Amino acid sequence: MRSLIKTAFALSFLTFMLSFQIIKTTLNVTVRDELGNTVEGASVQLYETEEDYTQEVNVVAQGVTDGKGVLKLKDLKGISYYVIVRKDDKDNAGGGEQTGRLQDNKINKVTVVIQ
């Protein structure tokens, strides 16, 4: 009987703890060059509006890609973002400037090509 009570308590506790472990809305940005190679050290900036994007003001999230060409941005809204990616003389102007709408509480992924 005691083991049954302990098991029930453990399951209840586990269920309670899992309810607090919701994934935050995340965007994993992979940056590639025109040959398809990943790009380390690329600067990535996200904007909520086209106006902010055009004027390059009010950055909502930013960072630099890691050795695998990936940047993970967390705690985002479930909206579409405008993206600027730059590395040296390459950028994503002319294509791939906007993400699709991010899914709330999910890990979203996008690949941006710079040339």
Cα separation, 30 vs 78, in Å, equals 19
Measured CA to CA, the distance from residue 105 to residue 86 in angstroms comes to 28
Q: Is the dihedral of CA 29, 35, 40, 46 positive or negative?
A: negative
* Each residue's pLDDT tens digit, 75-106: 999 999 999 999 999 999 987 799 999 999 99
What is the distance between the alpha carbons of residues 96 and 112, in angstroms, rounded to a whole number?
6
Q: What is the pLDDT of residues 33-72, one digit of tens each?
A: 999 999 999 999 999 999 999 999 999 999 999 999 999 9
Give the pTM.
Answer: 0.80
Give the contacts of 109 (CB within 8 A, at least 6 positions apart).
27, 28, 30
Phi, psi of 70 (to 5 degrees): -120, 140
Cβ-contact 46, 61 below 8 angstroms = yes
Could you tell me the strand order of the sheet in which 82-87 lies?
61-64, 43-47, 82-87, 90-91
What's the CATH architecture for 23-113?
Answer: Sandwich (2.60)
